[in-house]
Amino acid sequence: MTKETSWHGENRYLLFLTENYAALQVLKHKLHEAVGISIKNEESTSGQGLELNESERDVKRRRKEPFVLFGSSFPKDREYTQVCRNINQIKICMETGRTVILLNLENLYESLYDLLNQYYIFLGNSRYVDLGLQTHRVKCRVDNEFKLILIA
């Protein structure tokens, strides 16, 4: 990942192929740098010169910090209910524009097929994608700021 990498506009989701998970720390560091820069820019370009109170800053920072979702090969982590929980967490991040980092979650890729291939349905100014759980499909809104990063 270089400094010229754009996190804005239409692009494919990022896939890191690695022998170990050291890429997670490097990636989180780069994303935290980007969060700090974007929060400062939002504060300085507000136009009204009003200071954001601490709770507003926390909300903005939480929305921009990446959400890391870890998987494992433990049997309980591969159960249908856990897959549903993971998909729901990703869905919330999609709707709010929060970046998601998936680590060792190959069992979710089938459910995220349309999202990973960016098969969007456009309605007005919003875009939607199907998320699947076995034979059940649900249309979910995808915020324009949403990014998905896979570490495999």
The separation between CA 48 and the C-alpha centre of its own chain, rounded to angstroms, equals: 30
In whole angstroms, what is the distance from residue 127 CA to residue 67 CA? 21
Inform me whether the pLDDT recorded for 114 exceeds 60: yes
Full-model pTM: 0.72
Nearest to 64 by CA among 125, 143, 141: 143
Q: What are the backbone dihedrals phi and psi of residue 133, each rounded to the nearest 5 degrees, phi first? A: -130, 100
The predicted pLDDT at position 88 comes to: 94
Nearest to 15 by CA among 29, 33, 27, 25: 27
Q: How confident is the model at residue 29 (pLDDT cuts 50, 70, 90)?
A: confident
